[in-house]
Amino acid sequence: MLYYDSPVEAFYALDMEGNIIVSGNNAALRNRVLTAAAYHRCQRRIPVIILHCGNKALERLVADAYERERAPHIINAEHPEYDPFTELRKEEISQMVISSSGSDNKVERIGGLYINGLTDYLLARGRRPMVRSYISCPHDAILSRVMEHRADGSMSEADATRISSEITQGKAEQGNVEQYFRVLDTQASCILARKAEDAISIRKAIEEGKTIMLDIVSASNILLINLLVQEITDAMARGKRFLLAIDGIPVDASEGLARLMKNYSNACNFVYSSSDFYADTQSTANTFETLLAKANMVYVMQHSAAQSGKKFSEYFGQYRPVEINTTYVSGTVYPTYGQLLPGTNSSDVQTTQLTDRPRIEERDIAELALDEMFIKRNSEHEIMRVRCTAGEATGMYEAPRRRGRWPRLPAVGVNWALFVLLLLVPPAAFIYLFAVGGRVGKIVSAIVLVLMLVGVIVSNVLSYIALSG
């Protein structure tokens, strides 16, 4: 194992490709890893999508790291700018609604006609389609409004006929469409754009090569997650290249997210940051193993859950040390005819075996300090144990250097040194053994040194008493 004292950002090169998983209790270190990955992709003009749940510290890190001309779109309750429908055609809008609707608010395919009618109505009235327009739509009065506009001449006969036809054909799904937008309003109203000119979508951010960061507030906002996942899936289907960074959102929060991560395009990369990656993936079959297999770099910090430590220990692999066991056998041979004295017989038997042992044990993960982590690159066999020092995403760092450790002298050298010191200066021999010896050597030398000190004190006391008498 290699030991380092280094900023965690130093392990992320500017031209680095691949997927990253970072898991553990230290949120500050997780934020630094994610920010470094996002910043370096931005420097290479690669779009970045960051999804998180109320991580204000991460928002500040990202905002501070980016240059002004490449400022990210940070979307939250203070900056509500998200609208997935911006710059989409009506067929794309209806398809997005149908694809992102879940089992609790399912919109059937025929509902697409109803949504097309609503979109055509907005366009005929000179308005850009926005999610808030569908949320506030007076569904029961829409047909009568079409008739009124046709009667007063504010809508053409052709537009009125087409809109009425679409709404009528999809009328059976009106209730499901209303329910869809009602739930979406509950989950996403705090980040939805209020003005068309402020609206930004994931699709638009990718087209412009920008970074977009969205606060989804809670991982229980399943419909919002499904909508975001649908935008990302559509971008991958169009062959777009980007980085998806997810912080604190369980992979199994929605079926769509789990499916996206397991079938993630090789042309794109992801960063997944979690306080417990195993806990966030265990309810979906094989997701933990699948994503670790896709990861090019894995950062593991201290975990409280024993099962998570066990799973990461298994991921780090095993090694086979050669163990030599020696068995000593001795006994007495009693005299027989012609033998005057009893003899002795002794022998020793050596056995060699290979035993599988974990390279990193569960307790090693559980006992990590708050500023420590294990790092494993798939391209390298070695596992690095890193004590993280201060750093920032924009910093320029040299390759991390291995931490210096106390040199261990060969056993023969230690034995000769002890022999010489025992002959000349016995106390110095035990002090030397305490400094360089193993656990048993330290204990033995400490006991002997204490006994020698007690002996000196007792001797001085007795001498003083004798002189006083």
Q: What domains appear along the chain, each with residue ranges and CATH number?
A: 2-79+200-310 (3.40.50.300), 90-188 (no CATH), 322-358 (no CATH), 411-468 (no CATH)
Predicted pLDDT of residue 324: 59
Examine the pLDDT at 344 and tell me if it is beyond 80.
no
3-state SS of 323-368?
EEEEEEEEEEECCCCCCCCCEEEEEEEEEEEECCEECCCHHHHHCC
* pLDDT tier for residue 434 given thresholds of 50, 70 and 90: low
The set of residues, in sequence order, having a beta carbon less than 8 Å from that of 63 and lying 6+ positions away, is 71, 72, 74
Q: Which of 118-127, 130-139, 247-256, 326-335 has the lowest mean pLDDT?
A: 326-335
* pLDDT tier for residue 75 given thresholds of 50, 70 and 90: very high
Which whole number is the average pLDDT over 202-229?
96
Examine the pLDDT at 126 and tell me if it is beyond 90.
yes
Average predicted confidence (pLDDT) for the chain: 85
Tell me the whole-structure pTM to 2 decimals: 0.78
* pLDDT tier for residue 379 given thresholds of 50, 70 and 90: low
Predicted pLDDT of residue 406: 41
Q: What pLDDT, in 10s, does the model give residues 16-52?
A: 788 999 999 999 999 999 999 999 999 889 999 999 9
Query: Which H or E element spans position 10?
Result: none
- The most confident of 118-132, 301-315, 409-423, by mean pLDDT: 118-132
Which whole number is the average pLDDT over 136-155?
94
Q: Which of 6, 19, 73, 20 is nearest to 42 (CA)?
A: 73
Which whole number is the average pLDDT over 189-214?
95
**C-alpha distances out from residue 133 to 99, 181, 283, Å:** 20, 10, 37
Q: What is the CA radius of gyration of the chain?
A: 35
The per-residue DSSP string of 222-266 comes to HHHHHHHHHHHHHHHHTT---EEEEES--GGGSHHHHHHHHT--T
Q: What pLDDT, in 10s, does the model give residues 248-294?
A: 999 988 888 988 998 888 889 999 999 999 999 887 778 899 999 99
Question: What is the distance between the alpha carbons of residues 151 and 153, in angstroms, rounded to a whole number?
Answer: 5
Examine the pLDDT at 104 and tell me if it is beyond 90.
no
**Torsion sign, CA atoms 215, 218, 224, 227:** positive
* pLDDT tier for residue 317 given thresholds of 50, 70 and 90: confident
